[in-house]
């Protein structure tokens, strides 16, 4: 027996008929019949039960209550005359002898119908999230999240990882995104930062002699929202292994993830280990992205040679990428609409032509295409659509076209499965768009493939720094990046040399990463790690398109918590204690 109830609203069956029970829950719906009878749907965390009010006194109580009022019902279980096979408790109903109000809903009108809350305006759902979460469909995503985290935690412990929590208040560190800063009251003018990730702490744990670490880590980044990224904060399965290689990390992830996806996934088909390994440059060339969705069978092809001497101005002297879509029955209007969608996403224009049923080229830019040359470069069977892009954004556009046309042309995407892959051999350096100078491409803590030797060759001009790859890898599933990881640069000499390549010296390294640099000088073991995003994993498992659907209390796109009213103003006294003066300018 539990407080306020003997059974839950999802528990009663035919074997309980004749018993006196007490239920408690939310009054989901009331249906009056003829003025002397009412059917009440009572809902709690576990399910729903029909309550039949036949007694005038009980009926009077029911009529005085608004929907979603919390009530306690004591009564006798009886068999229903009209059973509901869609309801777990559909064979029985409860005839109450007593109803107590535990928590009165004081509003006649709800902001939305609970069981249809997902159809409501996003702002209303976020403002009244506590009502939104009463919807079983919304609640089930949070239950799924709990179960997935528990399964992952169990698997990591079984792999001999220790769960260790790392600080939330730490020092600001240049890790790619904006920090959330916290003023330090006892140290005027100085600030803590909320961790973008436990990156340095987990590497310090390896240096401290802990062999395998993990935690379900909260991370804080002041960055804009996307469909697969929540603003402000997120959680990741953060892990690190000492004396480990890239393959050691892969082996753990490939052992931990498939059982979780098999048990909790919306789809019952998933990649089995080993996951496909795709070098970064190959992924960009073939799929137009470093986050390929391998459920789609389309690929990109460089067809620059096809337009070498073209009269078509947009292609003249430019790199041209093509995606051939076989058995395409889209109309001209549909093709143009999808290309417009692709243009919005990629920032460049798309073009097309088609091989018709007779095998002739027609439509779009067909008149500028040499049929014989095209047939040598592309699989031009009848009813094959070819979409094209040219210029600096051709690769990006090809990736968008693969995703868009793959999802909208029947037969090219097996949606109901999970396809994993590893993207490996990321570039160590790139030319910064704003600076025009050599910069780290991704994680500055990654070990360059080739170690000190390759850096020295680059320093001497024997190797182009842009060709240096890092022992860095991404885990991708269904076109979504689940995590980034790397073999870490644990050698202070290699670290300094790597930073010298981007114009930073030993003093800069010491200033930016003092604890980690000093720790490594005491002898650090080789180590590697990764950090799959919990929110994205659950989003995939739930079959959701937006990450907010799997977060208990998400923020809106502007990083506002409209339910709690955050961020909010604070009192002048609080500001004075922190030695902060606000100047918003004009």
Q: Is pLDDT above 80 for 493?
A: yes
Can you tell me which residue has the tokens 């006294």?
573
What distance in Å separates the CA atoms of residue 179 and residue 172, rounded to the nearest whole number?
A: 7
Q: What is the mean pLDDT of residues 135-140?
A: 97
What distance in Å separates the CA atoms of residue 351 and residue 147, rounded to the nearest whole number?
A: 47
pLDDT of residue 50: 98
What distance in Å separates the CA atoms of residue 579 and residue 190, rounded to the nearest whole number?
A: 10
pLDDT digits (tens, 9 = 90+) for 214-231: 999 999 999 887 777 888
Whether 469 and 281 have beta carbons less than 8 Å apart is answered as no
Pairing of the two strands 361-362 and 384-390: unpaired
Can you tell me which residue has the tokens 């699989």?
379
**Sign of the alpha-carbon dihedral angle for 316, 319, 324, 328:** negative
Q: Is pLDDT above 60 for 336?
A: yes
Q: What is the mean pLDDT of residues 466-475?
A: 97
Whether omega for the bond prior to residue 453 falls within 30 degrees of 0, making it cis, is no
Residue length, the chain? 586
Whether 494 and 448 have beta carbons less than 8 Å apart is answered as yes
What distance in Å separates the CA atoms of residue 368 and residue 159, rounded to the nearest whole number?
A: 59
Quote the tokens at residue 107: 């509003």
CA atoms within 13 A on the CB side of 276: 19
- Phi, psi (degrees; rounded to nearest 5) at 352: -160, 160
Render the burial of 122-142: b for 16+ CB within 10 Å, e for the rest.
eeebbbbbebbbbbeebeebb
- How sure is the predictor about 443, in pLDDT bands with cuts at 50, 70 and 90? confident
- How sure is the predictor about 442, in pLDDT bands with cuts at 50, 70 and 90? confident
Domains 14-103 and 296-408 agree in fold: no
What are the strands, taking DSSP E only, across 270-376? Answer: 276-279, 300-302, 320-325, 351-355, 361-362
Whether 452 and 460 have beta carbons less than 8 Å apart is answered as no
Q: Provide the mean pLDDT of the chain.
A: 95
Residue of 482, 507, 477, 479 lying closest to 495 (CA atoms) = 507
Burial class (CB in 10 A: 0-12, 13-18, 19+), 213: buried
pLDDT of residue 229: 80
Q: Which residues contact 132 (CB under 8 A, 6 or more apart)?
A: 112, 117, 120, 125, 126, 138
Whether 190 and 146 have beta carbons less than 8 Å apart is answered as no
pLDDT of residue 174: 67
From residue 359, give the alpha-carbon distance in Å to each of 323, 372, 386. 18, 11, 13
Can you tell me which residue has the tokens 């990764």?
530
pTM value? 0.92
Where do the structural domains in the chain lie, given as residue ranges? 14-103, 296-408, 426-473+488-527
Q: With respect to CATH, is domain 296-408 assigned 3.30.1360.30?
A: yes
Q: Cα 510 from chain centroid?
A: 34
Can you tell me which residue has the tokens 């999970």?
418
pLDDT digits (tens, 9 = 90+) for 261-287: 999 999 988 999 999 999 999 999 999
pLDDT of residue 175: 60
CATH class of the domain whose range is 14-103: mainly beta
């Amino acid at each position: 027996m539990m407080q306020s109830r003997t059974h839950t609203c999802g528990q009663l069956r035919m074997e309980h008929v004749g018993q006196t029970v007490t239920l408690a829950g939310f009054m989901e719906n009331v249906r009056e019949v003829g003025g002397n009878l009412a059917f009440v749907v009572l809902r709690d965390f576990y399910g729903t039960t029909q309550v039949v009010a036949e007694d005038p006194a009980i009926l009077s109580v029911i009529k005085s209550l608004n929907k979603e009022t919390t009530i306690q019902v004591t009564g006798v279980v009886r068999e229903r005359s009209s059973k509901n096979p869609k309801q777990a408790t559909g064979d029985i109903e409860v005839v109450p002898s007593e109803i107590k109000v535990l928590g009165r809903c004081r509003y006649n009108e709800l902001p939305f119908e609970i069981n249809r809350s997902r159809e409501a305006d996003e702002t209303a759902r976020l403002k009244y999230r506590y009502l939104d979460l009463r919807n079983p469909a919304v609640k089930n995503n949070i239950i799924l999240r709990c179960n997935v985290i528990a399964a992952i935690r169990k698997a990591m412990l079984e792999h001999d990882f220790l769960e260790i929590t790392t600080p939330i208040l730490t020092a600001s560190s240049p890790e790619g995104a904006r920090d959330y800063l916290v003023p330090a009251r006892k140290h005027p003018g100085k600030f803590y930062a909320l961790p973008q990730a436990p990156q340095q702490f987990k590497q310090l744990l390896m240096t401290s002699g802990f062999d395998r670490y993990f935690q379900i880590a909260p991370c804080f980044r002041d960055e804009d929202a996307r469909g697969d990224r929540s603003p402000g904060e997120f959680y990741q399965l953060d892990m690190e292994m000492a004396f480990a290689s890239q393959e050691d990390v892969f082996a753990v992830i490939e052992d931990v993830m498939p059982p979780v996806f098999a048990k909790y996934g919306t789809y019952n088909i998933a990649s089995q280990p080993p996951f496909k390994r795709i070098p970064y440059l190959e992924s960009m060339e073939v799929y137009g992205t470093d986050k390929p969705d391998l459920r789609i069978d389309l690929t990109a092809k460089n067809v620059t040679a096809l337009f070498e001497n073209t009269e078509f101005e947009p292609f003249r002297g430019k790199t041209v990428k093509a995606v051939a879509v076989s058995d395409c029955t889209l109309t001209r209007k549909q093709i143009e609409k999808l290309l417009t969608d692709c243009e919005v996403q990629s920032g460049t224009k798309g073009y097309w032509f088609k091989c018709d049923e007779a095998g002739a080229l027609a439509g779009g830019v067909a008149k500028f295409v040499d049929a014989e040359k095209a047939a040598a470069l592309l699989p031009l069977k009848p009813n094959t659509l070819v979409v094209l892009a040219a210029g600096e954004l051709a690769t990006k556009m090809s990736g968008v076209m693969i995703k868009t046309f793959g999802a909208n042309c029947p037969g090219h995407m097996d949606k109901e499965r999970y396809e994993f892959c590893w993207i490996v051999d990321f570039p160590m350096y790139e030319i910064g768009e704003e600076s025009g100078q050599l910069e780290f491409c991704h994680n500055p803590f990654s070990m360059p493939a080739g170690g000190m030797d390759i850096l020295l060759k680059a320093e001497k001009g024997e190797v182009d720094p842009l060709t240096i790859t890092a022992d860095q890898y991404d885990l991708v599933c269904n076109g979504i990046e689940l995590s980034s990881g790397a073999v870490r640069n644990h050698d202070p000499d290699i670290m300094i040399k790597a930073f010298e390549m981007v114009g930073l010296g030993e003093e800069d390294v010491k200033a930016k990463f003092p604890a980690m640099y000093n720790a490594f000088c005491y002898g650090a073991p080789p180590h590697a790690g990764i950090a799959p995003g919990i929110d994205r994993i659950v989003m995939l498992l739930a079959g959701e398109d937006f990450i907010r659907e799997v977060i208990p209390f998400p923020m809106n796109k502007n990083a506002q918590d409209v339910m709690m009213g955050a961020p909010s103003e604070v009192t002048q006294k609080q500001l004075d204690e922190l030695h902060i003066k606000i100047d918003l300018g004009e």
